[in-house]
Chains A and B, each alone.
Chain A
Amino acid sequence: MVEASSILNAVIIGLASGTIYGVMALSFVLLYRIARVVNIAVGDMVLLGAYLILFFAELHLVPNPVLNILVAALLASLLSVALALFTERALFKPLYGQPVLTLIMMTVALGLLLRGATIIGWGTTLRVFPNQNEIWPLHPLEIGPVKLPYVYVWSITGALLIFGAFLYIFRKTIFGIAMRAVSLDPEVAAAHGITISKMYIYSWIIAYVAAVLSGLILGAINGINIIISDLGLSRALPAALIGGIDSPSGALLGGLILGLIEHTLGTYLNIYLPGIRDVIPYLVLLVVLIIKPYGLFGTVRIERV
């Protein structure tokens, strides 16, 4: 029999890990919504992010390990802005107007490129962030009966900050309104004064930064290794689709649902059926898509026939 407190613990940890799935899903959703790019490379962007943060952290620019990892995350984010510019200008700009499949193939290529780069740069052995145990103490944070590892505290805080900032921008600023306007019909939006190419660049930048920062959390939880790439994609994609592929707040919800089911039902069933935990996200996705083909918050498309 499972104890009540351990169920509660699983629920909390599930939701906590769901926040990071949400951030990765946001990266995916945003690119689709603004630039109509189905980004299969999202996991590889997360992987690269983890390695970039590792790289900057190992320079030990600041003596305090916590500050050091934060500075490293900041530097990695800045570098990812440059990467976003390169990706958009060099790889995707020539392809706009091409069929969706062409863009998808380019993201597959981008993913392999990024993954290859990390193998060349850092090899395939499992790495951890320097002084990891000082940054995230082994002893979990205890709130009543709940034992929450510190890395999840970071995950929750980080995700709240990222989503808070993003939703504020998306809903409350002129910039956000312009981003929403462009997603419907880029060409026509341009006739209303919105510079599409700029909007595409910005969406790539936000998508990269969100993915890179997710790398910090996934790297801290699982260690830094090529496996992060698959883990990233296999969580971001279902989370995004569950929430509705073009809904940013749906991405967060999708992530939370996914994390919750994975850590409760998934963990429980895994005792009887080892390996089921990794399949669970896709089972959830299947059920959601059968009931609501556009996801929970997605835009329902009505097309003339």
Chain B
Amino acid sequence: MSGLPILEVKDVSLRFGGVVALRSVSLSVNKGEILAIVGPNGSGKTSLLNCICGFYKPQSGRIFFKGVDITRMPIHKRMEMGLGRTLQTPYVFPGTVYENIMVGYVVRNGGIFRNLTYGAVEEARRRAEELIDFVELEPYRDAIATELPMGLRKRVELARVLMWDPEVIMLDEPASGLSLDERRDMARFILELNEVWGKTIILIEHEMNMVKDLAHRIIVMDSGRKIAEGLFKEITRDARVLAAYLGE
């Protein structure tokens, strides 16, 4: 199931003024695995993803993707290299679902003259069509994305990220705000992405059932530190994890 490390985080620390968000966090993500990052609110999970995708620049530490140091690389370069992420609150702009997905085309096809042509639109449209099928948004393809409910927006965003065919997909709470049915759908998409499409997935999630069912490996964070790492049954027995979740 898991192969060589594709993404490595080494001793990353992040501070906002006096607030320490990450304290020397290290982890590695193996090619082809689903790695879940769990932890209480404010434990640094999203900050960690933000460092990996480039929203935040850590004060110290290094991040390597496919062996390349990406710590200081601009966001769009990282995406071009094959990273992709969705947000806790999905980002959609007031255009159709189609357009919202098609925009992901620019990641690996950034040339302005190419992107003014009809050919580029056609190619993007074809690819978007496949992805709309995959995330089951067919009835909504011409709906205005900002008018859709949360569950569907999350699918729009996922499809957009898939437009540039990233190798590592970071999903920030893909199930939050979703109904039970929608969660099952989302879990199904994640599994298919991993097992059929061969994507490596980093998953931040509060929903423990989902983590238990999906993740090959779990990292637990608390107060900006990584406090445990392992299989689901291992971490649920870990005294520090129990303390972080249940209090001392």
Contact = CB atoms under 8 A, between A and B. Distances in A.
Interface of A: 169, 172-175, 177-178, 180-181, 183-185, 187-195, 198, 202, 299
Contacts of A181: 93, 95, 100, 103
B91 A185 contact: yes
A194 B94 contact: no
Interface stretch (B7-15, B116-124, B207-215): B116-124
Which label, helix, strand, loop or mixed, suits the secondary structure of the A interface?
A: helix
A188 B87 contact: yes
Interface in B94-113: 94-95, 99-100, 102-107, 109-110, 112
B104 A193 contact: yes
A191 B106 contact: no
B112 A175 contact: yes
Interface residues of B, number: 35
Contact of A191 (B55, B99, B117): B55
B99 A177 contact: yes
Contacts of B45: none
Nearest to B109: A174
B106 A174 contact: yes
Indicate the member of A175, A178, A193 with the most B CB atoms within 10 Å.
A193
Interface in B59-106: 74-76, 79-80, 85, 87, 91, 93-95, 99-100, 102-106
B79 A173 contact: no
Contact of A173 (B76, B100, B107, B116): B116
A300 B67 CA distance: 46
B164 to A, nearest CB: 6
A178 B103 contact: yes
A193 B104 CA distance: 7
B53 interface: yes
Nearest to A182: B93
Which label, helix, strand, loop or mixed, suits the secondary structure of the B interface?
A: helix
B76 A195 contact: yes
Interface of B: 53-55, 74-76, 79-80, 85, 87, 91, 93-95, 99-100, 102-107, 109-110, 112, 115-117, 120-121, 124, 157, 160-161, 164
A194 B91 contact: no
B112 A194 contact: no
Contacts of B116: 169, 173-175
Closest CB pairs A-B (n = 10): A193-B107, A175-B115, A174-B115, A193-B79, A190-B75, A184-B93, A188-B91, A181-B103, A181-B93, A195-B76
Contacts of B107: 192-193
A178 B106 contact: yes
Nearest to B105: A174
A191 B110 contact: no
Contact of A194 (B53, B76, B100, B157): B76
Indicate the member of B53, B100, B103, B112 with the most A CB atoms within 10 Å.
B103
A193 B54 CA distance: 11
B47 to A, nearest CB: 14
A173 B124 CA distance: 10
A180 B93 contact: yes
16 contacts: A173-B117, A174-B115, A174-B121, A174-B124, A178-B115, A180-B94, A181-B93, A184-B91, A191-B54, A191-B75, A191-B85, A191-B87, A192-B107, A193-B107, A195-B76, A198-B112
Given A184-B91, A185-B91, A194 B103 contact: yes
Contacts of B105: 174
B6 to A, nearest CB: 19
A172 B121 contact: yes
Contacts of B160: 192
B106 A173 contact: no
Contacts of B93: 180-181, 183-184
Contacts of A175: 106, 112, 115-116
A174 B102 CA distance: 7
A17 B161 CA distance: 45
Given A175-B112, A192-B103, 15 more contacts: A169-B116, A174-B124, A175-B106, A177-B102, A180-B94, A180-B95, A180-B99, A187-B55, A188-B91, A190-B76, A193-B79, A193-B106, A194-B106, A198-B110, A202-B112
